[in-house]
Structure 1
Amino acid sequence: MARFVFLRRRLLRGRRPIWTLWLAVLPLLLSGCAVSEKHTVPPAQVRPALEATADQLIAQYNQQARAVRSINAGVEVVPVAGSSYSGVIEEYHDVRGFILAQKPAHIRMIGQAPVVAKNVFDMVSDGETFRIFISPKNKFITGPVSFERPAKKPIENLRPQHLLDALFWPELEPGKTVLFEEFNAEPARYYVLTLLRGSATLEIARKIWFDRTDLSITRVQLYGPGGRLVSEIRYADWQPAADVRYPRHIWLERPHDDYRLEVRITRLQLNEEIAAERFRLEPPPGVELVRMGEGDAAEKP
């Protein structure tokens, strides 16, 4: 016991104030931490962010919306049905085909099987009625574009007017309430325009995202009543065509319809007049006809 007390007293007599030790050690610790946490971002990944005002972005968006009046395109389409939320994901093979679209609301899309170039589906819409012919099933489906009822197979929720929303944009009308903000998701930086539904509500109708590296539109989100996200549309690979820039890569996601669609444009002609008969689609003889919204009863023509 006496020895312990003696040693302790010697230590106390010879010990320097503890704060002097910390002053000596702390710079070493800090310098070591600084080096271990330092990250260098490659110069190629650091791109300067462009500046723009809300009025400039609205004008740019409206100019793009006015510039495209019709589309005649060869495409490669990759459909994916289901999601992690539904528990089942079905990935389909690439489908090659064609898209015809003309304002205000006409669209036709033909999908063909690879190699044999045989039609798999043919669908049209005039803004009021949609018609879909599924060749392998010998089934012809028609109904109002406003009709909504989830199908047993999510891929059967695909409608031509869904794609039309991704190809053509409505102009932002003067006097509408539009919010303006910055959004950063390093290293990407965005401007976001948020259009509200009407003047007496705080519900979102549309969000438009601009990539600040070149101010191109990279994303459009469409909302329904009650804040329901109807469509998530992404754009990439903007290229000039007929004095207009247009994206060559489009992703369309319909979360409540439980399907996604990737569209790669391989050939593009803009603003050429498209004859009305090219948007006509009649049921072939002997096909199974399904009228949506009329009890979904099948009948033979």
Structure 2
Amino acid sequence: MQKRVIQSGLQRYDWLKMPAMLLLLPMLNGCLVHTRTLKQPIIPSVVMTATADQLVKTINDGCDDIHSLTATVDFLATEGGPRKGKERTFTSFSGYIVLRKPESLRVIGLVPVLRTKAFDMATDGTTFKLLIPHYNKAIEGPNTVTKESSNTLENFRPNVFSDSLLIKCISPDDLVTLTSETKTQLDIKSKQMVEKPEYDLTVVRRKENSQELTPERVIHFSRIDLQPFQVDIYDPKGAIQTIATYGPLQTFGATKFPGTITIKRPLEELQIGITFSKLTVNLPLQDNQFDLDIPKGVTVQKLE
């Protein structure tokens, strides 16, 4: 009984105190409140909507359009970041990319000015070979990392290129979720803040013998044109392993393809930017275009 009396008294005290607090508000407004004007971001004039199924169809339609590609490109590599305490940007160099689905890939980098081979990498989708003529060295190993190396470059295997160059199809058996958000970013050209609404389509998988769902990849779509502009690829532990960012579409013949693709590896603090100058799709490619013979006398390093 005594407890109820105390509670009633407290409630009555709070009620009596409220008018006095309300009387203080005009005084606070004049003396202690400061108002500042914020620059409002530019809002896009058109924001499109779509369902998860419609976005899946967008990915699969684009995925089915390209079966092979050959490209002349420029590479720009950066290594390092906050964890390493330093960052190194390597001199830009040109090269070629040849890709044939499902997993065949050839990437050649050329020495600046001399235009001799800096490296030559080829894979059949299971194993790969990398030849570095300047060091008289070659590297061989599985296409995906089975044992991580302290040398970040050794973890950059061909599957990183393959997964980033073309967004993979979404299988009917895959589970997806769709969320939306709006980010505010500084537009480099106009120097103004701009709102960028987007959809995030997450492809998830179910762990074996478990009810836990883990993300496999997240595909980010702009809601201005409903086109994908970034893919985040996750490792089995649920950490982002690769981020592929796609620049504005350019026209190469009859094909629209991103003019730039930036591949980031956050865990290794490694980034490779690819700028496309020439691109041809769906040419018939032969098996020998993906064969790389290691010359005799070259030191071969085996990776796991």
Name the TM-score, length of structure 1 as normaliser: 0.81
2:83 aligned residue: 85
The one-letter code matched in structure 2 to 1:197 is R
1:144 to 138, 142, 151: 142
Distance change in 2, residues 1:158/1:254 (3 Å)? same
1:220 lines up with 2:231 in the alignment: yes
State whether residues 249 and 257 of structure 2, in contact with CA within 8 Å, keep that contact through their aligned partners in structure 1: yes
Aligned to 1:131, the other structure's residue is in SS state strand
Q: Which residue does 1:193 correspond to in 2?
A: 201
State the match for 2:281 in structure 1: 270
CA positional deviation for 1:229: 1.6
Between structure 1 and structure 2, the one with the greater Rg is: 1
Identity of aligned residues (%): 27
Tell me: CA distance 1:221–1:237, structure 2 relative to 1, closer, same or farther (3 Å).
same
SS in 2 for 1:37: coil
* TM-aligned CA deviation for residue 150 of structure 1: 4.0
d(CA) in 2 for partners of 1:177 and 1:112? 42
Shift of 1:269: 0.6
Q: d(CA) in 1 for partners of 2:268 and 2:198? A: 28
Corresponding letter in the other structure for 1:100: V
Match of 2:256 in 1: 245
Pick closer, same or farther for the CA change 1:290–1:245 going to 2, 3 Å: same
- Select the residue among 94, 97, 100 that pairs with 1:99: 97
The alignment's C-alpha RMSD in Å is 2.7
Counterpart check, 1:181 vs 2:189? no
Find the aligned partners of 2:70 and 2:39 in 1 and give their Cα distance. 47
Structure 1 distance, partners of 2:23, 2:205, is 65
Counterpart for residue 37 of structure 1: 37
TM-score (norm 2): 0.81
Contact 1:108 1:125 in 2 (8 A): yes
Q: Which piece of structure 1 moves more, 248-257 or 279-288?
A: 248-257
Contact 1:241/1:268 (CA < 8 Å) preserved in 2? Answer: yes
Equivalent residue for 1:279, pick from 285, 290, 295? 290
- The answer to whether the Cα contact below 8 Å between 2:145 and 2:157 also exists between their aligned partners in 1 is no
2-side partners of 1:53 and 1:164: how far apart? 27
Q: CA-to-partner distance for each residue in 1:211-270, whole Å, 9 max, x for gaps?
A: 111111111011121212221111112123454432111111122333111111111111
Q: Is the CA contact (8 Å cut-off) linking 2:145 and 2:155 kept in structure 1?
A: no
Q: Secondary structure at the match of 1:227?
A: coil
CA distance in 2, matches of 1:283, 1:115: 25
The 8 Å contact of residues 67 and 244 in structure 1, kept in 2 or not, is answered as no
Q: Aligned partners of 1:26, 1:291: CA distance in 2, in Å?
A: 72
Partner of 1:159: 157
Per-residue Cα deviation, 1:45-96 (whole angstroms, up to 9, x for no partner): 6342211121111110111111111110001101112221232322111010
Letter aligned with residue 90 of structure 1: R
Gaps of 5+ in 1: 1-18, 294-301
Q: Is the Cα–Cα contact under 8 Å of residues 77 and 272 in structure 2 kept in the other structure?
A: yes
Matched, 1:169 2:180: no
The answer as to whether partners of 2:94 and 2:112 remain within 8 angstroms in 1 is: yes
State the AA in 2 paired with 1:198: R
Once residues 90 and 28 of structure 2 are traced to their aligned partners in structure 1, the CA distance between those partners, rounded to angstroms, is 62
Does residue 203 (structure 1) correspond to residue 214 (structure 2)? The answer is yes
Distance 1:174 1:156, change over 3 A: closer
Q: Return the offset for 1:290.
A: 1.5
Contact 2:47 2:223 in 1 (8 A): yes
Partner Cα distance (2:28, 2:167) in 1: 63
